[in-house]
Structure 1
Amino acid sequence: MKNYRAELTGVFGDPVDDNPTGVVEEAAFAAKNLNYRYLTIKVRPEDLETAMNSVRIFDMRGINLTMPHKIKVIPYLDELSPAAEIIGAVNTVIQKDGRLYGENTDGKGFVTALKAFGETLENKTVTILGAGGAARAIAVECALNGARQIHIINRSQEKGMELAALIRSRTKSDSAYIPWTRNIVIPEDTDILINGTSIGFSPNVTEKPDVDYTSIRPNMCVCDVIFNPCDTLFLKAAQKNGAKTVNGLGMLVQQAALNFTLWTGEEAPVEVMEEALRKEF
């Protein structure tokens, strides 16, 4: 008998109109011939509880969360992954038998993209610019994947020190906060440098983080979470110094691929997803 009911996934956010994830996931569903749909849904903060109840009512396979819901969604979930529990934020929910399971694929997407580039985190020293949502998820996942030391460079002392303390208390990695002063020098022991801020994101493509770019050396791997543009001024400056670079496109694609597998149980067609995202930008 023909099945006319599609399995539903999607994203809740506010604002959410410019979120490109649906294009990537829909391309993957089509490539694997799956009767799935990805809905981009505006959910106001005051309606989040009702929206999460609707995930159960509509028997959705799962949902992504974007701002401002990543933290506020937690009380409406039945279970968290170990990483999501440490990070204190969820960007992916899987629904099974009426139970909602929270995961955070932001950091996992970054780590997967880094490994695909041929880099490992084992015993490495990582320096992260920023201590917001993306930086927090990446810092925790780097620690869980064997980083020896994680430097947190951030303008807000409170947020920077809180993230460093979290890593020290909840993982096996050491971590220290470094105040973000003007034209800051990147620590000499850095193996992997990550821009975890939104500096340089479209339309502000002429901006780059305020660091001393002469302190970026050829032996470093320099990464940016920004995917639009994928070749940021930050990465271009690092390339001029001979550093290897990893752009934010890979992180976004790998994150979407993890979501796809969590919802469908199938291996994600990563190349199809990456091509779909490149066409968007």
Structure 2
Amino acid sequence: MSLDAGSNVSPDPQQAFLFADPAGHSLSPRMHRAAFAYAGLNGHYEARRVPAEGLAEAVAGLRRQGVLGANLSLPHKETVVALLDDLSPAARAIGAVNTVIHRQGRLLGDNTDAPGLLQALSDAGYSWRKGAEVAVLGAGGAARAAVYTAALGRQRVWILNRTRDRADELAAAWAGQGAEVEVRATDLHDLPWSRVSLIINASSAGLNAPEETPLPGFDFSLLPAGALVYDMVYKPDETRLMREARSAGVKAENGLGMLAHQARLAFCAWTGCDVPVEVYLQALNVGGAT
């Protein structure tokens, strides 16, 4: 369903939420409120700080009439799976949920991070080249979506994490699905960086901490020509990881594009309204609205 701006406002109020801990930094309310306004829907989006022990109660509340669903962020993307009635094929394959959809009292878990990342990488000019390899930094829910995205591009994936056991677990989980694409956990100095055309930071390193980086002291000149560093972190606008990559002549992008694309897909799943991604980007003061 496509909509033109200025359509009639619906009479019934609808609600959607973000459950995260912390939640105060989120830009999701800004985007979704703009989407409700553009679509002419009487809706409200609220970011709520939900600690781990409060997740079950918060998710149960999504079954109320008038609630469309919720987004999930750190630390809930994996633990929420056990609280839902069903999963989309993507969420089941990834093992993580970032979007819960309420349908007549039942809760469906979906993952819009992966297709959102795929579109953001395309916007950044990245092309999936045969034989290229991808390094994913992190091993949580966002990293699971990044591995899934890289696998869709038929790329060999290397997982780096501060805790090697978590990286091993993610690689083993992927192998356990019988995937054709090779996914391995590794350490910084064992990775063949000269073949890595894409680095995805799917960890929280750098989030609201400008001088924190998941790759301290890394030599970006090891990467091949045309490589891209994609940092899912979007606050600050330029992380230390991005700054150091750019200073070495490597292209780097933050996570705002992914944030906008995954929000668009979540909103469409909740409402059936496909609001243009430019609405979300404008709400973030990017894409020509700075």
After TM superposition, the score normalised by the length of structure 1 is 0.88
Corresponding position of 2:33: 26
Shift of 1:3: 5.7
Map of 1:241 onto structure 2? 248
Once the two structures are superposed, the pairs formed by residues 30-69 of structure 1 within 5 Å of their partners are: 30-69=37-76
Paired residue for 2:211? 206
Query: Higher mean Cα deviation, 265-274 or 45-54?
Result: 45-54
Correspondence 1:192 to 2:231? no
Equivalent pairs: percent with the same residue? 36
Give the counterpart of 1:141 among 134, 149, 160. 149
Preserved contact between residue 129 and residue 195 of structure 1 (Cα < 8 Å): yes
CA RMSD of aligned residues (A): 2.4
Q: Which moved more, 1:209-218 or 1:24-33?
A: 209-218
Question: What is the SS of the residue equivalent to 2:195?
Answer: coil
Contact kept, 8 Å, 2:158 with 2:191, in 1: the verdict is: no
Corresponding letter in the other structure for 2:207 = F
Amino acid at match of 1:129: L
Residue in 2 that maps onto 1:223: 230
In the alignment, what sits opposite 2:6? none
Please list every run of 5 or more consecutive structure 2 residues that lacks an aligned counterpart in the other structure. 1-8
**8 Å CA contact retained: 1:154, 1:180:** no
Distance (Å, rounded) in 1 between the aligned partners of 2:127 and 2:267: 24
State the number of aligned residues: 276
How do residues 76-225 of structure 1 correspond to structure 2 at under 5 angstroms?
A: 76-121=83-128, 123=130, 124-143=132-151, 145-170=152-177, 171-180=179-188, 187-202=193-208, 204-208=209-213, 209-210=215-216, 211-225=218-232
Aligned CA distance change for structure 1 residues 156 and 44 (closer, same or farther; 3 Å):
closer
> Could you tell me how far apart the structure 1 residues matched to 2:10 and 2:153 are?
46
Quote how far apart the aligned CAs of 1:151 are: 1.0
Query: What is the distance in 1 between the residues matched to 2:156 and 2:47?
Result: 38
Equivalent-residue separation in structure 1 for 2:48 and 2:207 (angstroms): 23
- Structure 1 residues 212, 189: CA separation in 2 closer, same or farther (over 3 Å shift)? same
Compared with structure 1, are the counterparts of its residues 49 and 132 closer, same or farther at alpha carbon in structure 2 (3 Å cutoff)? closer
**Distance in 1 of aligned mates of 2:44 and 2:95:** 28
In 1, distance between residues paired with 2:226 and 2:45? Answer: 41
Partner of residue 277, structure 2? 270
Gaps of 5+ in 1: none
Is the 2:78–2:141 Cα contact (8 Å) retained in structure 1?
no
- TM-score for the superposition, normalised by structure 2: 0.85
